[in-house]
A and B are shown apart, each in its own frame.
Chain A
């Protein structure tokens, strides 16, 4: 940031630097230089002092030298010519008798990052590799890596590479580790440093000499080594055992990572390693540094995916501290939910109950939803707590409780009786749209059991003009219509009023369209309406997600000890926040199963009745219902085999069949991978692999079995989404405006922050078109392979798939 009067300051400094009196007084000289560096680190541009600073470089005072180097390295790239002047001083210093001066000169020579200086640097670097002092060798080794990255195209001499390999045997452990690092960068194209058996064993033997950081680096590189025999493998594992229980979380995590990659074929050994690592992990959980604590918690969540019972007995370690920041508390609660069992449920719920009334609303909300999750297994206890919380009559608590109850009822229909009796009076307290939506859904779906439901809805309908959130209005429409179906006498009048308002006065298109749809639906007869609206009230099959079978370790072993587990959760919440900001979200929950609430299914059904873009499957969708099944399961390897084989023989083979279809739908990459996967699982389609969301082209591989009589077939599929419309689709009226708008949206989802202003600028008209545009033109290319061929089943499957895609993409609108 520029400071006021910065030019004057720089001028004064230049004068001082050039002053011979200052130059002769070491202390004064150093102070002036300090001032320059201080300004520089505050972000002021002092690059114009470069030539003065170059002169200051020639001194015997090491402190001053170091300071000047800090300056020169920051600004050298702006003044390549003047930097040549420094080289002489630096080269002279490289001959100095003091190893510290030598290493300093060598390090800064390579830090200048000037491609033009290569010829001057190579010779001192070569000499540096053979220096007596370890600190010079350390610098020289890394210097080659810097040099290589400055000239990525030029070949580094094979002699140097060999020299570096031989320096792996250096007596100084840091030189050894630096060699690994340098080779890793120099040989990046060839896949990094080559680890053969002698090198691997040498590294393992030297491991103990390295410090924590060196060890973690060596362990990471060793992941690439494949032991040749089982005996060797076990020798290595037993050598590493002590590192596995190291008190340093850094070493412990990288050792575990190495264990998992070495034992990928031996699941039993990896599980034993996870058991072994429990004690140090728990110890790190109590670390004084809250950042470490958070990191450990994120990684424990990974472990729990494979070994749910790992920490069960230690649940008390995850009780939240009074002064801990909210983000750690929330992680701890997520872990606690996983740890619940018959022995600890009472104490655990008691603790969670305490958090539910926390002063921090985010913490309170997280605690309430944690209680709800436990409620799937221990519904009576949890409902007791939730109903008790309703008694507090506090807005945010009531809202969170109602949402939690809705989610709970969806999974555990047996709770509905208790929930229905507790809903009375909530409507007066609820203020936020999320809570209202949840309450409306409950009233609509279980209206026959809540005696006061029509009166509650009437209150909402009377106030509908003041309601600002359109999702609430849409939910209100659905709830009223549903209630009408089971209690027509009490509801008819208010339904009429609501439809009248929504069709005639409402300005929000989505609400109006939905009202119109319902109106026409009612015109076509009450039975039709019932068929569409009275879908399932609950989905107990989702319960499977709770008692999720243990995942194999290899699913997460790759991301263990990377930034991913910490950062993924962050980006997830960020995208959720982004959505809720626009107030268009259906379900702003990052929670996996929570995203699967009724709203999606409802829209599936309403869309079937409504006027969607005609897709080839639509005509068939009502007539064919194909039972799908996930069993027998297919491993990714098998899938790959079948998929590739299918490609070659699709034409000739009699019983195999391959088809491609363009499905028009919105941006399906929008939902998080979890919710996408979960949605697919809901209709019994298993996803095997997908690219991360928001990357284009976006691909998904999936499979399922159809079980329609007379035979069962296996269907493999690939979804490809490029984010661009195909020519036929978009050419006719694709004005420039539209194209721009689309780009904004695609970019806007990935970098919301940056593009926000842009989006605002492009105006209302564009964004209005956006939604349509996005909803209709973008196409997903679906490639399907079936074995044996059964057209009817394939069509049925396709229709299911298309419905799910539509639902997912329409979530945004």
Chain B
């Protein structure tokens, strides 16, 4: 059971505070903040204890969501899961989770908390149940601004490609607005690659999320690739098949047609839910999106020269955006001079992280970029070369899934609700951790 729930800003301001059981004083807030800011780097912050009070917290969106309890035998999974769920609900109701939205919508959050927890026991966290009880309307944090032209086309004409939803489309409060449904396939990739380009580890964790803004929705059908094989090695010989190693579904998903046609049937409630989670490891269907060809040497003047060629192995039509390569460099770098192949790229030396960060805003598939970095290191020794690398890449691959999973169709079973319904399917692959050894 949970004794108190509070939300603090990163500066320690109390945004929301609710006491459910009255057995811990409200000084717990200050205590928590003192403790969490006094932590050194190697101390796990998730559960902290002061006398008999246990603080469990999650850090999301720049906020501390904290639950306190005095029962040491409470399940940590349940409490953390609950806090994550609270964060997700705030996101659903207020559009986003940030200090500003929480401040604006604190009344709504009190109402949510009141319905979610009674006497510290979780009553319900499903959006469908809660929406019957929640009366306060969310305030959207985006103020009207003449300068905000994101949604306005040239002279009022709709110049946006009608097939593409703006990225901010789904970050709005649930209540009101258009009737839309978003199906997102989001993958996180973690790769470790050796110098020679051999994959030491490759793993993709994916998720099919449905975010539903429809007031009522009887059933949707999501058709996935017909050749999708799950877990089995029985199709491995055919190579081309899309494969996942493990997958799990939301309990509400009906899998009657999954075996034969790979169709998921679900009646989504309002808000966001993860319909399917999957994972595949080791044998990825596509080549890893980036390869690096490094050459490192010392020049006569005692500087460290690094030549990099970075190749993007995506299909030519797609491209990676917000690519940033962080190259670890030896201790004691003083200055950096660089030669980059195009002006939109940038590189800078971050001495506190001992890294050179090379940023490429847009990187089309099938192309190759090169860069030369010259580093001044006074205490350069032969051992310093060992300190170079790994190179860690962060990037975003819009409209690409690393596993090859696709949504063939998204059908709504017709209902009597009025007005047209917008359906969106979006794909994105993020880098969870993409490291290339040197």
Interface residues of A (CB under 8 A from B): 34, 37-38, 41-43, 62-63, 66-67, 70, 74, 100, 107, 113, 135, 138-139, 142, 145-146, 174, 177-178, 181, 211-214, 216-217, 220, 247-250, 252-254, 279, 283, 286, 288-289, 291-292, 294-295, 316-317, 319-324, 326-328, 330-331, 347, 350-351, 354, 357, 359-363, 366, 388, 391-394, 561-567, 569-571, 573-574, 577, 751
Contact across chains for B75 and A254 when beta carbons are under 8 A apart? yes
B44 at the interface (CB under 8 A from A): yes
B46 at the interface (CB under 8 A from A): yes
Contact across chains for B124 and A294 when beta carbons are under 8 A apart? no
Quick one: CB contact mask for B12-41 with A, threshold 8 Å, 1 for yes?
Answer: 011111110010001001000000000011
Chain A residue with the shortest CB-CB distance to B49: A567
Give the complex CA separation of A211 and B193 in angstroms: 42
Contact across chains for A294 and B44 when beta carbons are under 8 A apart? yes
Chain B residue with the shortest CB-CB distance to A361: B41
Contact across chains for B119 and A146 when beta carbons are under 8 A apart? yes
B230 at the interface (CB under 8 A from A): no
Q: A37-B107, A146-B119 are in contact. Are A570 and B42 (CB under 8 A)?
A: no
Partner of A288 from the list B1, B13, B188 (CB cut-off 8 Å) is B188
Q: How far is the CB of B38 from chain A (nearest CB, A)?
A: 8
Chain A residue with the shortest CB-CB distance to B19: A74
Partner of A561 from the list B57, B75, B390 (CB cut-off 8 Å) is B75
Q: List 5 A-B contacts (CB under 8 A).
A: A37-B107, A66-B111, A70-B18, A178-B118, A294-B46
Q: How far is the CB of A326 from chain B (nearest CB, A)?
A: 5
Contact across chains for B73 and A563 when beta carbons are under 8 A apart? yes
Quick one: CB contact mask for B208-220 with A, threshold 8 Å, 1 for yes?
Answer: 0000000000000
Q: How far is the CB of A715 from chain B (nearest CB, A)?
A: 34
Identify whether the interface residues of B are mostly helix, strand, loop, or mixed.
Answer: mixed
Q: How far is the CB of A46 from chain B (nearest CB, A)?
A: 13
Partner of A321 from the list B26, B80, B81, B432 (CB cut-off 8 Å) is B432
Give the complex CA separation of A254 and B277 in angstroms: 21
Give the complex CA separation of A566 and B328 in angstroms: 32
Contact across chains for A322 and B76 when beta carbons are under 8 A apart? no
How many residue pairs between the two chains, A and B, have CB atoms under 8 Å in the bound complex?
223
B410 at the interface (CB under 8 A from A): no
Q: A42-B13, A561-B76, A566-B47 are in contact. Are A324 and B433 (CB under 8 A)?
A: yes
Partner of B390 from the list A70, A354, A562, A577 (CB cut-off 8 Å) is A354
Contact across chains for B22 and A562 when beta carbons are under 8 A apart? no
When distances are taken between beta carbons in the complex, the residues of chain B under 8 Å from A391 are 383, 386
Contact across chains for A366 and B386 when beta carbons are under 8 A apart? no
Quick one: CB contact mask for B31-74 with A, threshold 8 Å, 1 for yes?
Answer: 00000000011111111110100101111000000000100111
Q: A359-B354, A392-B386 are in contact. Are A250 and B81 (CB under 8 A)?
A: yes
B338 at the interface (CB under 8 A from A): no
Contact across chains for B54 and A567 when beta carbons are under 8 A apart? yes
Q: A38-B106, A70-B110, A295-B76 are in contact. Are A392 and B121 (CB under 8 A)?
A: no
Contact across chains for B42 and A366 when beta carbons are under 8 A apart? yes
Give the complex CA separation of A66 and B200 in angstroms: 56
Contact across chains for A62 and B135 when beta carbons are under 8 A apart? yes
Given contacts A291-B80, A294-B44, A392-B386, 7 further A-B pairs with CB under 8 A are A67-B110, A213-B122, A283-B246, A289-B58, A289-B84, A354-B435, A359-B353
Q: A41-B106, A288-B188, A323-B433 are in contact. Are A573 and B43 (CB under 8 A)?
A: yes
When distances are taken between beta carbons in the complex, the residues of chain B under 8 Å from A146 are 119
Q: A250-B75, A391-B383 are in contact. Are A347 and B200 (CB under 8 A)?
A: yes
Contact across chains for A751 and B201 when beta carbons are under 8 A apart? no
Contact across chains for B135 and A562 when beta carbons are under 8 A apart? no
Chain B residue with the shortest CB-CB distance to A138: B123
Q: When A and B form their complex, which 4 residue pairs have the shortest distance between CB atoms, in order from nearest?
A: A321-B433, A247-B248, A362-B42, A213-B122
Contact across chains for A322 and B392 when beta carbons are under 8 A apart? yes
When distances are taken between beta carbons in the complex, the residues of chain A under 8 Å from B126 are 211
Partner of B74 from the list A34, A562, A571 (CB cut-off 8 Å) is A562
Give the complex CA separation of A661 and B370 in angstroms: 78
When distances are taken between beta carbons in the complex, the residues of chain B under 8 Å from A213 are 78, 82, 121-122, 125
B279 at the interface (CB under 8 A from A): yes
Give the complex CA separation of A135 and B133 in angstroms: 10
Give the complex CA separation of A330 and B42 in angstroms: 8
When distances are taken between beta carbons in the complex, the residues of chain B under 8 Å from A577 are 40, 43
Quick one: CB contact mask for B182-212 with A, threshold 8 Å, 1 for yes?
Answer: 0000001010100000001101010100000
Partner of A566 from the list B76, B84, B118 (CB cut-off 8 Å) is B76
Contact across chains for B432 and A211 when beta carbons are under 8 A apart? no
Contact across chains for A316 and B80 when beta carbons are under 8 A apart? no
Q: A145-B119, A322-B433 are in contact. Are A393 and B125 (CB under 8 A)?
A: no
Contact across chains for A42 and B76 when beta carbons are under 8 A apart? no
Quick one: CB contact mask for B75-100 with A, threshold 8 Å, 1 for yes?
Answer: 11110111110000000000000000
Contact across chains for A295 and B386 when beta carbons are under 8 A apart? no
Give the complex CA separation of A283 and B76 in angstroms: 17
When distances are taken between beta carbons in the complex, the residues of chain B under 8 Å from A570 are 43-44, 47-49
Contact across chains for A359 and B121 when beta carbons are under 8 A apart? no
Q: How far is the CB of B65 from chain A (nearest CB, A)?
A: 10
When distances are taken between beta carbons in the complex, the residues of chain A under 8 Å from B353 are 359
Q: A142-B119, A283-B277 are in contact. Are A563 and B203 (CB under 8 A)?
A: no
Q: How far is the CB of A364 from chain B (nearest CB, A)?
A: 11
Give the complex CA separation of A590 and B126 in angstroms: 42
Give the complex CA separation of A568 and B42 in angstroms: 14
Q: A567-B48, A570-B49 are in contact. Are A295 and B80 (CB under 8 A)?
A: yes
Q: A62-B135, A283-B279 are in contact. Are A566 and B433 (CB under 8 A)?
A: no
B384 at the interface (CB under 8 A from A): yes
Tell which of B49, B72, B123, B125 has the most Cβ of chain A within 10 Å: B123
Contact across chains for B386 and A388 when beta carbons are under 8 A apart? yes
When distances are taken between beta carbons in the complex, the residues of chain A under 8 Å from B322 are none
When distances are taken between beta carbons in the complex, the residues of chain A under 8 Å from B114 are 66, 70, 107
B367 at the interface (CB under 8 A from A): no
Q: How far is the CB of A265 from chain B (nearest CB, A)?
A: 22
Give the complex CA separation of A440 and B404 in angstroms: 58
When distances are taken between beta carbons in the complex, the residues of chain B under 8 Å from A288 are 188, 207
Give the complex CA separation of A359 and B389 in angstroms: 11
Q: How far is the CB of A53 from chain B (nearest CB, A)?
A: 15
Q: How far is the CB of B69 from chain A (nearest CB, A)?
A: 8
When distances are taken between beta carbons in the complex, the residues of chain B under 8 Å from A328 are 44
When distances are taken between beta carbons in the complex, the residues of chain B under 8 Å from A327 are 41-46
B422 at the interface (CB under 8 A from A): no
Tell which of A139, A247, A577 has the most Cβ of chain B within 10 Å: A247
When distances are taken between beta carbons in the complex, the residues of chain B under 8 Å from A34 are 107
Partner of B46 from the list A38, A295, A562, A571 (CB cut-off 8 Å) is A295
Chain A residue with the shortest CB-CB distance to B194: A350
Chain B residue with the shortest CB-CB distance to A388: B386
Give the complex CA separation of A70 and B78 in angstroms: 25
Chain B residue with the shortest CB-CB distance to A69: B114
Contact across chains for B46 and A566 when beta carbons are under 8 A apart? yes
Give the complex CA separation of A74 and B110 in angstroms: 12
Partner of A100 from the list B123, B133, B248 (CB cut-off 8 Å) is B133
Give the complex CA separation of A41 and B114 in angstroms: 15
Chain B residue with the shortest CB-CB distance to A394: B331
B170 at the interface (CB under 8 A from A): no
B437 at the interface (CB under 8 A from A): yes
When distances are taken between beta carbons in the complex, the residues of chain A under 8 Å from B395 are none
When distances are taken between beta carbons in the complex, the residues of chain B under 8 Å from A248 are 81
Partner of B49 from the list A253, A326, A562, A571 (CB cut-off 8 Å) is A571
Give the complex CA separation of A256 and B76 in angstroms: 14
Partner of B77 from the list A66, A250, A320 (CB cut-off 8 Å) is A250
Chain A residue with the shortest CB-CB distance to B17: A41
Give the complex CA separation of A347 and B434 in angstroms: 17
When distances are taken between beta carbons in the complex, the residues of chain A under 8 Å from B394 are 322-323
Quick one: CB contact mask for B280-292 with A, threshold 8 Å, 1 for yes?
Answer: 0100000000000
Contact across chains for A562 and B73 when beta carbons are under 8 A apart? yes
Q: How far is the CB of A333 from chain B (nearest CB, A)?
A: 11
B257 at the interface (CB under 8 A from A): no
Give the complex CA separation of A37 and B106 in angstroms: 9
